[in-house]
Amino acid sequence: MQIKKIKFATYSALEEYFTSIILPQKKYSSKVIGKTLLYWEKKPKEKMTKTYQVISMSDLEKVNKKSISMGRNQNIPVQTINQLKADGKVVAVVSMAFPHNEVEQRLVLYAGEKYGSLLCDVSFDDHKKFVKPLTMEAA
C-alpha cells in the first residue's frame, strides 16, 4: 500500500481538492491530519467462497458397485443411483466422511432433500481418488 501525502495551505483548499478529486473516485481511502491529506488505493474486496467435498455421479456409481460386490456394510440401492441420474444430479456432496472398522471410509452423502442422507462405504484409496473439492462463490 503506497500512501500519498498532500499538504495544503488552507482547510478550504484541502476540502475543495478532497471533494472534487478524491471523493468521486471511490477507489481511495483517506485520512486528514491538520491540513495534510493522506490517501491510498483500497484493496479490492475478495469474493467469499465455500469449498465442498463432492463425488460425481459416475464415480459414485463405480464405488457403490464395488461396495456392493465386496459386501460392505453400507451402500446405496442401485435404484436410488438410477433415480439420482434420472433427476439430473451430477454430484453428491460429501457432508461427512470417517474411518469405519479401520479398513474403509464411510461417506455420508447429500444429494437433495428427496434423498436425505445416503451412506456408502468405500476404500481409503477410492476416497482419495474420487472425492474432490469443489469451490463456489458465495451469493
**Residues of the chain with pLDDT > 70: what percent?**
99
Does an H or E element contain 1, and which? none
pLDDT digits (tens, 9 = 90+) for 52-92: 999 999 999 999 999 999 999 999 999 999 999 999 989 99
pLDDT digits (tens, 9 = 90+) for 82-119: 999 999 989 999 999 999 988 999 999 999 899 999 99
pLDDT digits (tens, 9 = 90+) for 20-44: 999 998 888 999 999 999 999 988 7
DSSP 8: -
- Please work out, in degrees rounded to the nearest 5, the angle formed at the alpha carbon of residue 58 by the alpha carbons of 53 and 88: 85
Domain ranges of the chain: 4-41, 49-137
Distances (CA, A) of 100 to 7, 18, 95, 111, 124: 69, 65, 16, 22, 10
Q: Would you say 35 and 8 are in contact if contact means Cβ atoms under 8 Å apart?
A: yes
